[in-house]
């Protein structure tokens, strides 16, 4: 089970109302390489992967992704809560507003709803780990693109934190590949 | 509805940030320990910071309210809904 802690993993501050930036950030909420996709992917893969260490990796990193999803949601909420419908429209969020009001929605920056087709659980440890390494690297690239396009240094501080976490997660999954290789060698010799 | 975000009391953000910093270190160490379970220095650091987090959390919750359901106190108002949500602070 999970226990909710009434705080963010890392502080999220914004300089002010900025629906233009919020629209871009939604990519990491419900986009193909976003935090929802990551959390659902790892938490689903944890059951059948061999080795307690690899299960721990899927379980714990999947859980941390939920905390990242909450950070992105907080950014979007804070950047849009004071925006008028006209400001949302000017930012390209008019379609979002007429369908969802000020609620968030699991969609990408282009407004395409989240699809579970973004993610895979192959039931094959090496395939799953490589998928996850790729997912972390794609998310890292997306955070870099968001930082490049952002005009809010306070948001960039939290985005840089999230970018660094992708690096760490990728590193852990790469170590997971080494654990599998060792197991293979062990089998070959005995 | 009482949705107005109140100004935070003195020391709120500092106290919260000290918890976030220690808890983040613990989280990152816990991922590291998945693949380095025999690293005695990391285990030692984990154990020490866990104690530190308990103390920081106790102090924060005494002053500003519960961070989890399990630390809600017996007296009204029900603390879980009496304090702001993370996206409001």
Cα–Cα distance between A106 and A31 in angstroms, integer?
A: 8
Structure tokens at A9: 């993993």
The HSE-up count of residue A104 (CA atoms within 13 Å, CB side) is 27
What DSSP character marks residue B6? P
pLDDT digits (tens, 9 = 90+) for B42-67: 999 999 999 999 999 999 999 999 99
Specify burial of residue B72 (Cβ count, 10 A radius: 0-12, 13-18, 19+): middle
Q: Compute how many other C-beta atoms are within 10 angstroms of the C-beta atom of residue A151.
A: 10
Could you give the ipTM of this predicted complex?
Answer: 0.91
Of the partner residues B20, B27, B31, the one whose CB lies closest to the CB of residue A7: B20
With a CB cutoff of 8 Å and minimum separation 6, the contacts of B16 are: A7, A11, B60, B64, B89
Residue A14 lies in a domain: no
A179 touching B (Cβ < 8 Å):
yes
- Which sequence spans correspond to the domains of chain B? 12-84
pLDDT digits (tens, 9 = 90+) for A160-171: 999 999 999 999
Nearest Cα residue to A42 out of A20, A77, A66? A66
Domain span including residue A116: 19-180
Q: At what angle do helices B12-35 and A153-189 cross, to 10 degrees?
A: 20
Please determine, for residue B1, whether its predicted confidence score (pLDDT) is greater than 60.
no
Considering chain B, what is the average pLDDT of its residues?
92
Residue A4 lies in a domain: no
Query: How many structural domains compose chain A?
Result: 1
Cα–Cα distance between A28 and B15 in angstroms, integer?
A: 29
Nearest Cα residue to A57 out of A140, A172, A163, A164? A172
Structure tokens at A186: 């062990």
Cα–Cα distance between A176 and B36 in angstroms, integer?
A: 11
Task: Look at the alpha carbons of A140, A141, A144, A145 in this order and tell me if their dihedral is positive or negative.
Answer: negative
pLDDT digits (tens, 9 = 90+) for A5-43: 999 999 999 999 999 999 999 999 999 999 999 999 999
Cβ of B34 and A172 within 8 Å? Answer: yes
User: In this structure, what CATH number is given to the domain that contains residue A156?
Assistant: 1.20.1260.10
Specify burial of residue A17 (Cβ count, 10 A radius: 0-12, 13-18, 19+): middle
Burial A54-85 (b: 16+ CB within 10 A, else e): bbbbbbbbbebbbbbbbbbbbbbbbbbeebee
Cα–Cα distance between A96 and A80 in angstroms, integer?
A: 12
pTM given for the model: 0.95
For residue B74, the model assigns a pLDDT of 86
The HSE-up count of residue B69 (CA atoms within 13 Å, CB side) is 3
Task: Please report residues of A whose CB lies closer than 8 A to that of B31.
Answer: 57, 60-61, 64, 168-169, 172
Of the partner residues B20, B35, B70, the one whose CB lies closest to the CB of residue A11: B20
Considering chain A, what is the average pLDDT of its residues?
96
Cα–Cα distance between A72 and A3 in angstroms, integer?
A: 20
Please determine, for residue A179, whether its predicted confidence score (pLDDT) is greater than 80.
yes
Q: At what angle do helices B12-35 and B40-64 cross, to 10 degrees?
A: 150
Specify burial of residue B47 (Cβ count, 10 A radius: 0-12, 13-18, 19+): exposed
Of the partner residues B30, B31, B67, the one whose CB lies closest to the CB of residue A7: B67
Residue A73 lies in a domain: yes
Residue A51 lies in a domain: yes
Task: For residue B10, name the pLDDT band (cuts at 50, 70, 90).
Answer: confident
Cβ of A10 and B20 within 8 Å? Answer: yes
Among A123-132, A133-142, A177-186, which is the least confidently predicted range?
A177-186
């Amino acid at each position: 089970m999970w226990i909710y802690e009434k705080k963010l993993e890392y502080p999220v501050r914004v300089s002010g109302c900025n629906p233009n930036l919020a629209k871009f950030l939604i990519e990491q909420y419900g986009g193909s390489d976003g935090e929802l996709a990551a959390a659902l992917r790892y938490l689903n893969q944890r059951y059948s992967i061999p080795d307690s260490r690899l299960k721990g990796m899927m379980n714990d990193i999947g859980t941390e992704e939920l905390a990242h999803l909450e950070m992105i949601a907080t950014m979007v909420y804070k950047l849009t809560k004071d925006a008028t419908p006209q400001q949302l429209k000017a930012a390209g969020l008019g379609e979002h507003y007429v369908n969802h009001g000020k609620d968030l929605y699991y969609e990408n920056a282009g407004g395409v709803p989240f699809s579970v087709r973004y993610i895979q659980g192959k039931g094959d440890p090496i395939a799953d780990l490589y998928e996850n390494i790729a997912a972390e690297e794609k998310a890292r690239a997306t955070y870099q693109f968001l930082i490049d396009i952002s005009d809010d240094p306070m948001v960039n501080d939290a985005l840089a934190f999230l970018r660094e976490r992708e690096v760490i997660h990728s590193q852990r999954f790469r170590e997971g590949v080494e654990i599998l290789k060792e197991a293979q060698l062990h089998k070959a010799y005995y | 509805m009482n949705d107005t975000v109140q100004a935070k009391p003195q020391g709120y953000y500092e106290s919260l940030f000290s918890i976030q910093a220690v808890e983040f270190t613990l989280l990152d160490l816990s991922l590291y320990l998945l693949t380095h379970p025999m690293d005695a220095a990391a285990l030692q650091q984990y154990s020490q910071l866990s104690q530190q987090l308990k103390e920081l959390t106790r102090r924060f919750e005494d002053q500003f309210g519960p961070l989890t359901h399990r630390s809600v106190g017996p007296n009204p108002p029900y603390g879980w809904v009496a304090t702001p949500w993370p996206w409001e602070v």
